[in-house]
Amino acid sequence: MSPVQSLIASHRQGRNVGLYSVCCSNELVLRAAMDVAHRHGTLLLIEATSNQVDQFGGYTGMTPPQYRDYVLALAREEGFPAHRLVLGGDHLGPNAWQKRPAEEAMAHARVLIEAYVAAGFHKIHLDCSMSCADDPTPLADATVAARSAELARIAERTAAEHGLPPPVYVIGTEVPVPGGEASLAGGLAVTTPQAAEQTLAIHRQAFAAPDLAAAWERVIAMVVQPGVDFDHSSVHDYDPVAAEALADFLERQPRIVFEAHSTDYQREDGLHALVRDHFAILKVGPAATFAYREALFALAAIEAELLPPEQRSELPQVLERCMLDNPKHWQQHYHGDERDLHLLRLYALSDRCRYYWGEPALVAAVQRLFDNLRAHAPPAFLLSQYLPEQYRAVRAGTLANTPEALVRHRIGLCLHEYARACSANTAGERPPAVAVAVASANG
Protein backbone atom coordinates (compact mmCIF):
# COMPACT_ATOMS: atom_id res chain seq x y z
CA MET A 1 0.00 0.00 0.00
CA SER A 2 1.47 3.32 -1.05
CA PRO A 3 1.43 6.32 1.31
CA VAL A 4 -1.29 7.89 -0.86
CA GLN A 5 -3.43 4.79 -0.37
CA SER A 6 -2.67 4.89 3.35
CA LEU A 7 -3.89 8.47 3.58
CA ILE A 8 -7.09 7.63 1.70
CA ALA A 9 -7.60 4.57 3.92
CA SER A 10 -7.17 6.77 6.98
CA HIS A 11 -9.90 9.06 5.67
CA ARG A 12 -12.24 6.11 5.09
CA GLN A 13 -11.54 4.92 8.63
CA GLY A 14 -12.98 8.15 9.98
CA ARG A 15 -10.09 10.62 10.19
CA ASN A 16 -10.89 14.02 8.73
CA VAL A 17 -7.87 14.05 6.43
CA GLY A 18 -7.42 14.67 2.75
CA LEU A 19 -4.87 15.35 0.05
CA TYR A 20 -4.45 18.64 -1.76
CA SER A 21 -3.08 18.57 -5.27
CA VAL A 22 -1.11 21.49 -6.71
CA CYS A 23 -1.62 21.39 -10.48
CA CYS A 24 1.01 23.77 -11.77
CA SER A 25 4.43 24.21 -13.36
CA ASN A 26 5.09 27.78 -12.18
CA GLU A 27 8.39 27.86 -10.31
CA LEU A 28 7.38 30.22 -7.50
CA VAL A 29 4.06 28.42 -7.04
CA LEU A 30 5.91 25.14 -6.60
CA ARG A 31 8.43 26.72 -4.23
CA ALA A 32 5.55 28.20 -2.23
CA ALA A 33 3.87 24.78 -2.18
CA MET A 34 7.04 23.35 -0.66
CA ASP A 35 6.99 26.12 1.97
CA VAL A 36 3.42 25.15 2.89
CA ALA A 37 4.13 21.41 2.98
CA HIS A 38 7.16 22.09 5.20
CA ARG A 39 5.02 24.13 7.57
CA HIS A 40 2.20 21.60 7.83
CA GLY A 41 4.30 18.45 7.65
CA THR A 42 2.19 17.08 4.81
CA LEU A 43 3.19 15.13 1.79
CA LEU A 44 3.19 17.26 -1.34
CA LEU A 45 1.24 16.12 -4.38
CA ILE A 46 2.25 18.03 -7.52
CA GLU A 47 0.40 17.26 -10.74
CA ALA A 48 1.07 18.04 -14.37
CA THR A 49 -1.86 18.27 -16.78
CA SER A 50 -1.87 16.52 -20.13
CA ASN A 51 -1.84 19.72 -22.19
CA GLN A 52 0.89 21.17 -19.99
CA VAL A 53 3.36 18.29 -20.11
CA ASP A 54 3.33 15.55 -22.74
CA GLN A 55 5.60 13.47 -24.96
CA PHE A 56 5.91 16.46 -27.33
CA GLY A 57 6.59 19.00 -24.57
CA GLY A 58 3.09 20.42 -24.05
CA TYR A 59 2.69 24.15 -23.61
CA THR A 60 5.49 24.23 -21.01
CA GLY A 61 7.98 22.63 -23.38
CA MET A 62 8.57 19.82 -20.86
CA THR A 63 8.19 16.07 -21.31
CA PRO A 64 7.25 13.97 -18.24
CA PRO A 65 10.90 13.10 -17.39
CA GLN A 66 11.88 16.77 -17.75
CA TYR A 67 9.02 17.87 -15.51
CA ARG A 68 10.01 15.26 -12.91
CA ASP A 69 13.62 16.45 -12.96
CA TYR A 70 12.49 20.09 -12.75
CA VAL A 71 10.38 19.44 -9.65
CA LEU A 72 13.10 17.35 -7.99
CA ALA A 73 15.67 20.08 -8.67
CA LEU A 74 13.42 22.66 -7.00
CA ALA A 75 12.97 20.30 -4.04
CA ARG A 76 16.75 19.97 -3.66
CA GLU A 77 17.18 23.74 -3.76
CA GLU A 78 14.44 24.18 -1.15
CA GLY A 79 15.69 21.37 1.07
CA PHE A 80 12.36 19.62 0.65
CA PRO A 81 12.78 15.85 0.97
CA ALA A 82 12.08 13.98 -2.25
CA HIS A 83 10.58 11.09 -0.29
CA ARG A 84 7.69 13.39 0.67
CA LEU A 85 6.86 14.29 -2.93
CA VAL A 86 4.24 12.57 -5.04
CA LEU A 87 3.96 13.31 -8.75
CA GLY A 88 0.62 12.98 -10.48
CA GLY A 89 -0.70 13.20 -14.02
CA ASP A 90 -3.99 15.00 -14.52
CA HIS A 91 -6.51 14.45 -17.36
CA LEU A 92 -4.31 11.77 -18.94
CA GLY A 93 -6.01 10.52 -22.07
CA PRO A 94 -6.92 11.98 -25.45
CA ASN A 95 -7.61 15.46 -24.00
CA ALA A 96 -4.92 17.30 -25.98
CA TRP A 97 -5.88 15.56 -29.25
CA GLN A 98 -9.69 15.44 -28.99
CA LYS A 99 -10.11 17.35 -32.28
CA ARG A 100 -8.58 14.35 -34.06
CA PRO A 101 -10.21 10.97 -34.84
CA ALA A 102 -10.50 8.70 -31.82
CA GLU A 103 -7.94 6.12 -32.92
CA GLU A 104 -5.33 8.79 -33.62
CA ALA A 105 -6.08 10.58 -30.35
CA MET A 106 -5.91 7.34 -28.37
CA ALA A 107 -2.63 6.39 -30.05
CA HIS A 108 -1.15 9.59 -28.63
CA ALA A 109 -2.80 8.88 -25.26
CA ARG A 110 -1.13 5.46 -25.09
CA VAL A 111 2.30 7.03 -25.56
CA LEU A 112 1.40 9.76 -23.06
CA ILE A 113 0.45 7.34 -20.28
CA GLU A 114 3.58 5.28 -20.84
CA ALA A 115 5.77 8.39 -20.68
CA TYR A 116 4.20 9.58 -17.42
CA VAL A 117 4.42 6.23 -15.65
CA ALA A 118 7.96 5.51 -16.88
CA ALA A 119 9.01 8.90 -15.44
CA GLY A 120 7.76 7.90 -12.00
CA PHE A 121 4.41 9.67 -11.84
CA HIS A 122 2.49 7.73 -9.20
CA LYS A 123 -1.04 9.18 -9.14
CA ILE A 124 -2.68 8.77 -12.52
CA HIS A 125 -5.97 10.40 -13.46
CA LEU A 126 -7.39 8.35 -16.32
CA ASP A 127 -9.55 10.79 -18.23
CA CYS A 128 -11.13 9.53 -21.44
CA SER A 129 -14.37 11.43 -20.88
CA MET A 130 -14.06 13.73 -23.89
CA SER A 131 -15.46 13.00 -27.35
CA CYS A 132 -12.93 12.90 -30.17
CA ALA A 133 -13.60 14.15 -33.70
CA ASP A 134 -15.50 11.07 -34.89
CA ASP A 135 -17.12 10.20 -31.53
CA PRO A 136 -20.74 10.81 -30.53
CA THR A 137 -21.39 13.57 -27.99
CA PRO A 138 -21.68 12.88 -25.15
CA LEU A 139 -19.46 9.83 -25.04
CA ALA A 140 -21.03 6.69 -23.57
CA ASP A 141 -19.83 5.73 -20.10
CA ALA A 142 -18.93 2.28 -21.39
CA THR A 143 -16.59 3.79 -23.99
CA VAL A 144 -14.99 6.06 -21.39
CA ALA A 145 -14.42 3.09 -19.08
CA ALA A 146 -13.04 0.82 -21.84
CA ARG A 147 -10.54 3.46 -22.95
CA SER A 148 -9.52 4.12 -19.35
CA ALA A 149 -8.96 0.41 -18.75
CA GLU A 150 -6.82 0.24 -21.88
CA LEU A 151 -4.61 3.04 -20.57
CA ALA A 152 -4.45 1.44 -17.12
CA ARG A 153 -3.18 -1.76 -18.72
CA ILE A 154 -0.33 0.22 -20.33
CA ALA A 155 0.42 1.93 -17.02
CA GLU A 156 0.59 -1.39 -15.18
CA ARG A 157 2.93 -2.89 -17.76
CA THR A 158 5.16 0.19 -17.84
CA ALA A 159 5.56 0.36 -14.06
CA ALA A 160 6.49 -3.34 -13.95
CA GLU A 161 8.99 -3.00 -16.80
CA HIS A 162 10.75 -0.11 -15.04
CA GLY A 163 10.67 -1.68 -11.57
CA LEU A 164 8.54 1.17 -10.24
CA PRO A 165 5.80 1.05 -7.59
CA PRO A 166 2.47 0.39 -9.28
CA PRO A 167 0.39 3.54 -9.80
CA VAL A 168 -2.78 4.56 -8.04
CA TYR A 169 -5.67 5.63 -10.23
CA VAL A 170 -8.48 8.16 -10.38
CA ILE A 171 -11.43 7.46 -12.68
CA GLY A 172 -14.66 9.23 -13.63
CA THR A 173 -16.90 10.36 -16.45
CA GLU A 174 -18.41 13.58 -15.07
CA VAL A 175 -15.10 15.40 -15.23
CA PRO A 176 -15.09 19.23 -15.10
CA VAL A 177 -13.15 20.86 -17.91
CA PRO A 178 -9.56 21.78 -16.99
CA GLY A 179 -9.18 25.40 -15.87
CA GLY A 180 -12.80 26.17 -14.97
CA GLU A 181 -16.05 26.57 -16.87
CA ALA A 182 -16.50 29.11 -19.65
CA SER A 183 -19.62 30.38 -17.86
CA LEU A 184 -21.63 29.50 -14.77
CA ALA A 185 -24.63 31.51 -15.92
CA GLY A 186 -26.68 28.36 -16.48
CA GLY A 187 -26.02 26.98 -13.02
CA LEU A 188 -24.12 23.88 -11.96
CA ALA A 189 -25.58 20.41 -11.45
CA VAL A 190 -24.21 18.13 -8.73
CA THR A 191 -23.54 14.55 -9.87
CA THR A 192 -26.42 12.30 -8.84
CA PRO A 193 -25.79 9.16 -6.79
CA GLN A 194 -27.29 7.15 -9.64
CA ALA A 195 -24.78 8.56 -12.13
CA ALA A 196 -21.89 7.95 -9.72
CA GLU A 197 -23.07 4.37 -9.13
CA GLN A 198 -23.29 3.72 -12.87
CA THR A 199 -19.81 5.14 -13.46
CA LEU A 200 -18.35 2.98 -10.73
CA ALA A 201 -20.13 -0.18 -11.94
CA ILE A 202 -19.09 0.29 -15.58
CA HIS A 203 -15.46 0.93 -14.64
CA ARG A 204 -15.47 -2.08 -12.31
CA GLN A 205 -16.66 -4.20 -15.23
CA ALA A 206 -14.03 -2.72 -17.60
CA PHE A 207 -11.30 -3.56 -15.06
CA ALA A 208 -12.61 -7.09 -14.53
CA ALA A 209 -9.95 -8.72 -16.74
CA PRO A 210 -7.44 -10.79 -14.72
CA ASP A 211 -4.51 -8.54 -15.66
CA LEU A 212 -6.34 -5.47 -14.28
CA ALA A 213 -7.67 -6.93 -11.03
CA ALA A 214 -4.74 -5.57 -9.02
CA ALA A 215 -5.06 -2.18 -10.74
CA TRP A 216 -8.71 -1.97 -9.71
CA GLU A 217 -7.68 -2.37 -6.08
CA ARG A 218 -5.53 0.75 -6.54
CA VAL A 219 -8.35 2.93 -7.84
CA ILE A 220 -8.42 5.43 -5.00
CA ALA A 221 -10.88 8.05 -6.21
CA MET A 222 -13.61 8.99 -8.63
CA VAL A 223 -14.06 12.43 -10.17
CA VAL A 224 -17.58 13.78 -9.80
CA GLN A 225 -19.13 17.24 -9.77
CA PRO A 226 -19.73 18.27 -6.13
CA GLY A 227 -21.18 21.62 -7.21
CA VAL A 228 -17.99 23.67 -7.20
CA ASP A 229 -16.47 25.54 -10.10
CA PHE A 230 -15.51 29.00 -11.32
CA ASP A 231 -15.64 30.96 -14.51
CA HIS A 232 -14.02 34.22 -15.58
CA SER A 233 -15.70 36.36 -12.93
CA SER A 234 -17.65 34.21 -10.45
CA VAL A 235 -17.32 31.21 -8.15
CA HIS A 236 -19.91 28.54 -7.44
CA ASP A 237 -19.41 27.81 -3.74
CA TYR A 238 -19.81 24.38 -2.23
CA ASP A 239 -23.27 23.64 -0.82
CA PRO A 240 -23.13 20.62 1.53
CA VAL A 241 -26.91 20.20 1.40
CA ALA A 242 -26.91 19.91 -2.40
CA ALA A 243 -24.14 17.28 -2.23
CA GLU A 244 -25.55 15.35 0.73
CA ALA A 245 -26.96 12.45 -1.32
CA LEU A 246 -23.67 12.10 -3.19
CA ALA A 247 -21.70 12.04 0.07
CA ASP A 248 -24.10 9.43 1.48
CA PHE A 249 -23.57 7.28 -1.62
CA LEU A 250 -19.83 7.16 -0.98
CA GLU A 251 -20.36 6.00 2.59
CA ARG A 252 -21.60 2.71 1.11
CA GLN A 253 -18.58 2.23 -1.17
CA PRO A 254 -15.40 0.51 -0.02
CA ARG A 255 -11.97 2.10 -0.25
CA ILE A 256 -12.51 5.06 -2.58
CA VAL A 257 -13.06 8.79 -2.09
CA PHE A 258 -14.17 11.55 -4.43
CA GLU A 259 -11.70 13.84 -6.19
CA ALA A 260 -12.93 17.44 -6.52
CA HIS A 261 -11.63 19.42 -9.48
CA SER A 262 -11.85 23.19 -9.91
CA THR A 263 -11.92 23.91 -6.17
CA ASP A 264 -10.01 27.14 -6.85
CA TYR A 265 -11.36 30.20 -5.01
CA GLN A 266 -13.55 28.21 -2.64
CA ARG A 267 -13.81 29.69 0.85
CA GLU A 268 -11.75 27.82 3.43
CA ASP A 269 -14.84 26.65 5.29
CA GLY A 270 -16.02 25.16 1.99
CA LEU A 271 -12.73 23.27 1.60
CA HIS A 272 -13.10 21.83 5.10
CA ALA A 273 -16.67 20.79 4.31
CA LEU A 274 -15.60 19.13 1.07
CA VAL A 275 -13.03 16.97 2.88
CA ARG A 276 -15.55 16.11 5.59
CA ASP A 277 -18.02 14.99 2.90
CA HIS A 278 -15.48 12.60 1.31
CA PHE A 279 -14.26 14.91 -1.46
CA ALA A 280 -10.91 14.08 0.04
CA ILE A 281 -8.68 15.03 -2.90
CA LEU A 282 -8.81 18.77 -3.64
CA LYS A 283 -7.34 20.08 -6.87
CA VAL A 284 -6.00 23.64 -7.10
CA GLY A 285 -4.14 25.37 -9.94
CA PRO A 286 -5.41 28.65 -11.41
CA ALA A 287 -6.03 30.14 -7.94
CA ALA A 288 -2.32 29.72 -7.16
CA THR A 289 -1.15 31.37 -10.38
CA PHE A 290 -3.84 34.05 -9.86
CA ALA A 291 -2.20 34.82 -6.48
CA TYR A 292 1.19 34.89 -8.25
CA ARG A 293 -0.14 37.44 -10.75
CA GLU A 294 -1.72 39.51 -7.97
CA ALA A 295 1.58 39.66 -6.11
CA LEU A 296 3.54 40.63 -9.22
CA PHE A 297 1.06 43.39 -10.09
CA ALA A 298 1.26 44.70 -6.52
CA LEU A 299 5.06 44.78 -6.76
CA ALA A 300 4.82 46.55 -10.12
CA ALA A 301 2.58 49.19 -8.51
CA ILE A 302 5.19 49.68 -5.78
CA GLU A 303 7.91 49.88 -8.43
CA ALA A 304 5.93 52.59 -10.24
CA GLU A 305 5.88 54.66 -7.04
CA LEU A 306 9.61 54.30 -6.50
CA LEU A 307 11.21 54.57 -9.96
CA PRO A 308 10.90 56.76 -13.05
CA PRO A 309 9.22 55.21 -16.13
CA GLU A 310 12.44 54.48 -18.00
CA GLN A 311 13.71 52.26 -15.16
CA ARG A 312 10.54 50.26 -14.54
CA SER A 313 9.79 46.72 -15.65
CA GLU A 314 6.33 47.75 -16.93
CA LEU A 315 5.31 44.18 -16.18
CA PRO A 316 1.51 44.51 -16.64
CA GLN A 317 2.05 46.18 -19.99
CA VAL A 318 4.50 43.48 -21.08
CA LEU A 319 1.98 40.78 -20.13
CA GLU A 320 -0.73 42.52 -22.15
CA ARG A 321 1.55 42.76 -25.21
CA CYS A 322 2.48 39.08 -24.97
CA MET A 323 -1.17 38.06 -24.81
CA LEU A 324 -2.10 40.28 -27.74
CA ASP A 325 0.83 39.05 -29.84
CA ASN A 326 -0.07 35.41 -29.20
CA PRO A 327 -3.81 35.19 -28.50
CA LYS A 328 -4.29 31.43 -28.89
CA HIS A 329 -4.59 30.76 -25.15
CA TRP A 330 -7.42 33.26 -24.53
CA GLN A 331 -9.10 34.30 -27.77
CA GLN A 332 -11.65 31.46 -27.85
CA HIS A 333 -12.43 31.87 -24.15
CA TYR A 334 -12.85 35.62 -23.56
CA HIS A 335 -15.63 37.65 -25.20
CA GLY A 336 -16.74 41.30 -25.12
CA ASP A 337 -15.60 44.70 -26.25
CA GLU A 338 -11.98 45.86 -26.05
CA ARG A 339 -12.35 47.09 -22.47
CA ASP A 340 -13.90 43.79 -21.37
CA LEU A 341 -11.16 41.80 -23.10
CA HIS A 342 -8.44 43.90 -21.50
CA LEU A 343 -9.85 43.25 -18.03
CA LEU A 344 -10.37 39.55 -18.68
CA ARG A 345 -6.86 39.05 -20.05
CA LEU A 346 -5.25 40.51 -16.93
CA TYR A 347 -7.68 39.79 -14.13
CA ALA A 348 -10.09 36.93 -14.96
CA LEU A 349 -10.40 34.16 -12.38
CA SER A 350 -9.79 31.65 -15.16
CA ASP A 351 -6.29 33.19 -15.23
CA ARG A 352 -5.43 32.36 -18.80
CA CYS A 353 -2.46 34.68 -18.50
CA ARG A 354 -0.81 31.76 -16.66
CA TYR A 355 0.10 30.32 -20.06
CA TYR A 356 2.38 33.28 -20.80
CA TRP A 357 4.78 33.57 -17.86
CA GLY A 358 7.39 31.49 -19.70
CA GLU A 359 7.54 33.94 -22.62
CA PRO A 360 11.07 35.45 -22.83
CA ALA A 361 9.78 39.03 -22.65
CA LEU A 362 7.83 38.25 -19.47
CA VAL A 363 10.68 36.31 -17.89
CA ALA A 364 12.87 39.39 -18.49
CA ALA A 365 10.20 41.73 -17.09
CA VAL A 366 9.82 39.70 -13.89
CA GLN A 367 13.60 39.60 -13.50
CA ARG A 368 13.84 43.38 -13.94
CA LEU A 369 11.01 43.91 -11.44
CA PHE A 370 12.78 41.75 -8.87
CA ASP A 371 16.16 43.39 -9.52
CA ASN A 372 14.63 46.85 -9.12
CA LEU A 373 12.98 45.97 -5.82
CA ARG A 374 16.10 44.30 -4.50
CA ALA A 375 17.98 47.54 -5.19
CA HIS A 376 15.09 49.68 -3.87
CA ALA A 377 13.43 47.76 -1.04
CA PRO A 378 9.74 48.67 -0.71
CA PRO A 379 9.18 51.00 2.25
CA ALA A 380 6.77 49.81 4.91
CA PHE A 381 4.00 52.23 3.93
CA LEU A 382 3.97 50.98 0.32
CA LEU A 383 3.94 47.37 1.49
CA SER A 384 0.98 48.25 3.69
CA GLN A 385 -0.79 49.87 0.75
CA TYR A 386 -0.30 47.14 -1.86
CA LEU A 387 0.57 43.94 0.07
CA PRO A 388 -0.99 44.41 3.51
CA GLU A 389 -0.82 40.79 4.64
CA GLN A 390 2.82 40.58 3.65
CA TYR A 391 3.44 43.91 5.39
CA ARG A 392 2.18 42.45 8.65
CA ALA A 393 4.46 39.42 8.28
CA VAL A 394 7.47 41.65 7.50
CA ARG A 395 6.71 43.77 10.57
CA ALA A 396 6.42 40.65 12.70
CA GLY A 397 9.87 39.57 11.55
CA THR A 398 8.61 36.34 9.95
CA LEU A 399 9.04 37.39 6.32
CA ALA A 400 11.94 38.96 4.44
CA ASN A 401 11.22 42.15 2.51
CA THR A 402 12.44 40.74 -0.77
CA PRO A 403 10.35 40.40 -3.93
CA GLU A 404 10.58 36.61 -4.16
CA ALA A 405 9.70 36.12 -0.50
CA LEU A 406 6.73 38.48 -0.80
CA VAL A 407 5.40 36.63 -3.85
CA ARG A 408 5.84 33.20 -2.27
CA HIS A 409 4.06 34.36 0.86
CA ARG A 410 1.10 35.64 -1.18
CA ILE A 411 0.79 32.28 -2.99
CA GLY A 412 1.23 30.44 0.29
CA LEU A 413 -1.80 32.17 1.80
CA CYS A 414 -3.91 30.39 -0.82
CA LEU A 415 -2.24 27.00 -0.41
CA HIS A 416 -2.28 27.10 3.42
CA GLU A 417 -6.09 26.98 3.22
CA TYR A 418 -5.87 23.66 1.39
CA ALA A 419 -3.29 22.25 3.79
CA ARG A 420 -5.43 23.17 6.79
CA ALA A 421 -8.56 21.70 5.19
CA CYS A 422 -6.75 18.42 4.53
CA SER A 423 -5.31 18.13 8.03
CA ALA A 424 -7.11 16.30 10.81
CA ASN A 425 -5.57 18.83 13.17
CA THR A 426 -7.10 22.19 12.27
CA ALA A 427 -5.86 23.97 15.39
CA GLY A 428 -2.62 24.84 13.65
CA GLU A 429 -0.35 22.33 15.37
CA ARG A 430 2.07 20.45 13.21
CA PRO A 431 0.64 17.07 12.18
CA PRO A 432 2.93 14.06 11.81
CA ALA A 433 4.94 13.91 8.63
CA VAL A 434 3.95 11.34 6.03
CA ALA A 435 6.71 9.52 4.20
CA VAL A 436 6.19 9.09 0.47
CA ALA A 437 8.59 8.57 -2.37
CA VAL A 438 8.72 9.96 -5.87
CA ALA A 439 9.31 6.90 -7.98
CA SER A 440 12.26 7.70 -10.21
CA ALA A 441 12.96 6.06 -13.52
CA ASN A 442 16.59 6.71 -12.72
CA GLY A 443 16.34 4.69 -9.54
Same domain, 305 and 258: no
Are 329 and 282 part of one and the same domain? no
Q: Calculate what percentage of the chain has a pLDDT beyond 70.
A: 93
Q: Please enumerate, as own/partner, the contacts of 429-435 that have beta carbons within 8 Å and a separation of 24 or more.
A: 430/39, 430/40, 430/41, 431/40, 431/41, 431/42, 432/41, 433/41, 433/42, 433/84, 434/3, 434/6, 434/7, 434/41, 434/42, 434/43, 434/84, 435/3, 435/43, 435/83, 435/84
CATH of the domain at 237: 3.20.20.70
Mean pLDDT of the chain, nearest integer: 93
pTM, rounded to two decimals: 0.94
- Is residue 436, in this structure, part of any structural domain at all? no
243: containing domain: 3-286
Is residue 425 one of the residues assigned to a domain?
A: no
Summarised one tens digit per residue, pLDDT across range 251-273 is 999 999 999 999 999 999 999 99
User: In this predicted model, what pLDDT tens digit does every residue of 44-65 receive, in sequence order?
Assistant: 999 999 999 999 999 999 999 9
Mean pLDDT value across residues 412-426: 90
Residue 178: predicted pLDDT = 62
Residue type, 169: Y
**Whole-angstrom distance, CA of residue 408 vs CA of residue 414:** 10
Answer yes or no: do 271 and 313 share one domain.
no
CATH of the domain at 379: 1.10.400.20
Same domain for 394 and 303, yes or no, is yes
DSSP-assigned states of every residue in 28-64: HHHHHHHHHHHHHT--EEEEEETTTB-TT-TTTTB-H
Q: What is the pLDDT of residue 177?
A: 63
pLDDT band, very low/low/confident/very high, at 431 (cuts 50, 70, 90) = very low
For the chain, what is the domain count?
2
Give yes or no for residue 435 having a pLDDT over 70: no
User: Do 10 and 134 fall within a single domain?
Assistant: yes
109-150: per-residue pLDDT in tens? 999 999 999 999 999 999 999 999 999 999 999 999 999 999
- Identity at 327, one-letter amino acid code: P
173 assigned to some structural domain:
yes
